[in-house]
Amino acid sequence: MNSTLKIIDLLDAVRQTAPAKWRARCPAHGGKSASLAIADVDGRVLVKCFAGCATGDVLASLGLKFSDLFPQRLGEHKPMKRSPWPARDVLDLATREATVVAIVASDVLEGRSVSAADWARLAQATARLTSIGNGVCS
């Protein structure tokens, strides 16, 4: 049984309002109207009391925890590795190197000769753009 059905089984006066959506009495404040909305979105359970009860209070009154709303673990979160270079500097470098590539490409397309120094600079620009794409600036 999925998490949504487990929660719905714990509620009173449940009625389905649309596919994967229900309304029920809120167990946290004990009202008589169906102020609690429940939805199943991609296997996650969304709960909202329109009378203003906190979701934690609704869950506690059912003997549940927030983790019960999300039965599948999304995997281990690894913090992002921060680049030692400011984003603006990386963007400036990428722009400069892309300009070098564009100039040499234009020369080749126009049939102009490209010097050995320009080929070497093109190789350097390509290597730098590749390192930016791999997350390592040089």
Residue 63 lies in a domain: yes
Identify the domain boundary among 69, 96, 112: 69
Query: Phi, psi (5° rounding) for residue 7?
Result: -70, -45
β-bridge partners, 40: 45
For residue 5, pLDDT beyond 80: no
Range of the domain at 99: 87-133
Check whether residue 62 and residue 119 sit in a common domain: no
Strand order in the sheet with 15-18: 15-18, 21-24, 36-41, 44-49
Same domain for 22 and 51, yes or no, is yes
User: Could you tell me if residue 45 is left (phi over 0), alpha (psi between -120 and 50 degrees) or otherwise beta?
Assistant: beta
Q: Are residues 65 and 97 in the same domain?
A: no
The tens digit of pLDDT for each residue in 39-70 reads: 988 777 889 999 999 999 999 999 988 887 87
In a domain, 138, yes or no: no
Question: pLDDT per residue over 70-86, tens digit each?
Answer: 765 555 555 666 677 78
Structure confidence by residue, pLDDT tens digits, 22-36: 999 999 988 788 999
Residue 44: count of CB within 10 angstroms of its CB: 14
- Please check whether residues 106 and 61 belong to one and the same domain: no
Average pLDDT score over residue span 6-15: 89
Model pTM above 0.75: no
What would the 3-class secondary structure string for the chain be? CCHHHHHHHCCCCCEEEECCEEEECCCCCCCCCCCEEEEEECCEEEEEECCCCCHHHHHHHCCCCHHHHCCCCCCCCCCCCCCCCCHHHHHHHHHHHHHHHHHHHHHHHCCCCCCHHHHHHHHHHHHHHHHHHCCCCC
Residues 64 and 91 in one domain: no
**Which domain-ending residue is among 69, 102, 119?**
69
